[in-house]
Amino acid sequence: MDLVRIDAVHKHFGSNHVLKGIDLRIGAGEVVAIIGRSGSGKSTLLRSINGLESIDDGQIEVDGEKLTAGQTDLRALRQKVGMVFQQFNLFPHLKVGENVMLAPQVVKKMSRADCEPIAKAMLAKVGLAEKFDAYPDQLSGGQQQRVAIARALAMQPKVMLCDEITSALDPELVNEVLAVVKQLAVEGMTLIMVTHEMRFARDVGNKLVFMYQGKVHESGDPKELFANPQTPELQSFIGAIN
Amino acid sequence: MAYHFDFIAVWEYREQLATGALHTLGLIAVGATLGVSLGTLGAVSRAWKIKPFDKIFTVYVEAIRNTPFLVQLFFIFFGLPALGVKLDEWTAAIIAMVVNLGAYSTEIIRAGIQAIPRGQIEAASSLAMTRAQIFRHIVLRPALQKVWPALTSQVVIVMLGSSVCSQISATELTYAANFIQSRNFRAFETYITVALMYLVLAFCVRWLLNKFGSHFVNGRKTT
Amino acid sequence: MMTEFTLWDIIRNLITGLEWTVGLSLTAFLLGGAVGLLVLTARIGRFPWLQKAMKGYIELFQGTPLLMQLFLVFFGISLMGIDVPAWLAAAIGLTLFTSAYLAEIWRGCVEAIPKGQWEASSSLAMSWVEQMRYVVLPQALRIAIAPTVGFSVQVVKGTSVASIIGFAELTKTGGMLANATFKPFLVFGLVAVGYFILCYPLSHFAMRLERKYRGSSSH
């Protein structure tokens, strides 16, 4: 049973055809790493899964919620899709706990009393239970990103989208964030991530998608693809990274 | 509503309107040139703490920015003659505009000067340039470039504000409007027309200054 | 009216004028703020035709002299056969003027909120109203305080134009006193001092707020 179905999705930025007919099936519990050069459309693809980018043609379906070209009301779909950003995007005027509780309170209309245990549990899961009353700017980049993960988890999404979530971090802070993501993968969360962490993609992922010029150029088991790239483009991409 | 609009009654006075508009443009042309020049002097005095001018300009800027233009105009036109300084309405209007714009542009340009990276000035100093040379060749153009949009807005604001010069009988655009509506008794139509004329003037002044800015201040065309 | 005015007479009359200036300023600022909030909502809202209309409204008020706006309100309402007192025309005109400027200032503040804040709240399934209410406006409000206080100085100074349509605030009172006393230098000097007393603290406060909030992004 596919949790995420992407069918014939096209997207243009002006005259630039960024997504040229993407088809992708992702099952529940899969951990998918999308790789590719900048400009290959990988970030755009990820962002269209929860409608941050509108699509021009095709259809995306997440757990029965459909998203088509020109659609504007995405609230039902977005409740099932969590997202973590490169730049964290925590709400700077709210404390950490409030960041995590905001969406459950205003979107799901839960009471604060009901939200608080969930928020605390999610913060504990990312190892930051004691930061409940801190403000985001009192945290390190790695801690902020873990709060962002907890914030997305608090909506109890079916899928998590991770958009280069370690790219803005200092090298010594990358691992604490990856450890949290790995834990989520182990617990069975469906993850779709655009990443530059090739080793992480290989070790934790169970599906690798290589994007090239707006298309899925190659996809399959990460370990096999890394060991045995079929196309010269993927070969040179892996070569350039190593 | 039983009222019938009659814009023909305004059209009959097109010559007065055109003359008024030209006078308004003339006022702002002179006012802006002198005002921004004064502001440049003020800005460099304040930014580089040139004594005693920095203090003088500080007091001047605060005095002007915290009082209405209309009161400044009345003070110059009605008040100064009491000290033996007699001014005709145009001189008074221009002085008031220069003094007013001078204060605002002092602050605007000062911000531009202070945004010039320290290293630029240090590099120029290390090349044995004098302070005047540094200002002329290194600081002035980038500073003006940076604040040109703000200066443009301020010039437009001062031009619109010059409509109160009608109160000292300077025959600019608003004066023309007052004159016309006293003749044709079509106040609403007259003021609507003149308001739209100001809108067009504001647009033209902004357009001209943008052009001027990209040619002379930026020094190179950006495409 | 008496022909002999003592300095105290002049000051006493000017203080009365000053009180009307304060009253008109407060009215215009508070009502203008309320109307400005509506204009802002429409200006940044999701209806393109409303956005365009509000853009036009703002450009109209920022592109014409305040004096013209007061004349138009004054004579425009008279057209409908209603006799408008000067204070009412002045209050309406200045309210509209203020609303246009404040809406534009606040729009700048809303647009200064990083795109990531909108994206993060979108991805949490929040609606436009919820994003505004819980994420964008609380942050925009913080950066809006200094320029809003700064604009209040423009409102106070703008009320002087109401003297031209006959509202006896500080400038008008000054004009009458100058005629009656033949001491225009003294009277207009005092009028200027009156405005300075009102405006300087506001300017100073705005500047301090700006320094305080510049660079600090939270709490």
Task: Identify the CATH number of the domain in which residue A112 sits.
Answer: 3.40.50.300
Number of domains making up chain B: 1
Is B81 a residue whose pLDDT tops 80?
yes
In a domain, B38, yes or no: yes
In a domain, B2, yes or no: no
**Least CB–CB distance from C195: residue in B68, B167, B187:** B68
pLDDT at A6: 94
Domain with A97 in it: 2-241
8 Å CB contact of B63 and C71: no
**Nearest chain C Cα distance for residue B200, angstroms:** 8
Residue B117's CB: how many other CB atoms inside 10 A? 9
Q: DSSP secondary structure string, chain B?
A: ------SHHHHTTHHHHHHHHHHHHHHHHHHHHHHHHHHHHHHHHHHTT-TTHHHHHHHHHHHHHTS-HHHHHHIIIIIGGGGT----HHHHHHHHHHHHHHHHHHHHHHHHHHTS-HHHHHHHHHTT--HHHHIIIIIHHHHHHHHHHHHHHHHHHHHHHGGGGGGGT--SHHHHHHHHHHHH--HHHHHHHHHHHHHHHHHHHHHHHHHHIIIIIS-S---
In a domain, B79, yes or no: yes
- CA separation (Å) from A146 to A81, A99, A167, B185? 17, 12, 14, 72
Helix (H) or strand (E) holding A208, with range, is strand A207-212
Hey, what's the torsion of the CAs at B139, B144, B146, B150, to 10 degrees? 150
Total residues belonging to chain A:
242
Judge whether B1 is closer than 8 Å to chain C, CB to CB.
yes
Number of domains making up chain A: 1
8 Å CB contact of A107 and C120: no
Mean predicted lDDT score pLDDT of chain C? 92
Domains in chain C: boundaries: 29-213
Please give the Cα distance from B61 to A56 (Å, whole number).
55
- From the DSSP assignment, how many helices (H) and strands (E) are in chain A? 9, 10
8 Å CB contact of C68 and B163: yes
Is C132 a residue whose pLDDT tops 50?
yes
8 Å CB contact of B74 and C196: no
By CB neighbour count within 10 A (0-12 exposed, 13-18 middle, 19+ buried), where does C176 fall? middle
In a domain, B107, yes or no: yes
pLDDT band at B125 (very low <50, low <70, confident <90, very high): confident
User: CATH assignment of C29-213, given 3.40.50.300, 2.30.130.10, 1.10.3720.10, 3.90.1150.10?
Assistant: 1.10.3720.10
Tell me the sheet residues that pair with A5: A25, A61
Q: Which residue has the higher pLDDT, B220 or C208?
A: C208
Q: Which of the 8 DSSP states describes residue C136?
A: I
Please give the Cα distance from C85 to A171 (Å, whole number).
70
In a domain, B16, yes or no: yes
Residue A27's CB: how many other CB atoms inside 10 A? 13
pLDDT at A67: 86
Q: Give the pLDDT confidence of C89-119 residue by residue, as tens digits.
A: 999 999 999 999 999 999 999 999 999 999 9
Q: Give the pLDDT confidence of C143-167 residue by residue, as tens digits.
A: 999 999 999 999 999 999 999 999 9
Domain with B23 in it: 8-217
Whether omega before B52 lies within 30 degrees of 0, making that bond cis, reads: yes
pLDDT band at A242 (very low <50, low <70, confident <90, very high): low
**Least CB–CB distance from A50: residue in C117, C121, C123:** C123
In a domain, B1, yes or no: no
In a domain, B200, yes or no: yes
**Domain containing residue B28: CATH number:** 1.10.3720.10
pLDDT at A3: 92
Is C touching B (3+ C-beta pairs, cut-off 8 A)?
A: yes
8 Å CB contact of C125 and A136: no
What ipTM is given for this predicted complex?
Answer: 0.91
Q: Give the pLDDT confidence of C31-59 residue by residue, as tens digits.
A: 999 999 999 999 998 899 999 999 999 99
- Write the CB contacts of B11 (distance below 8 Å, at least 6 apart in sequence): none
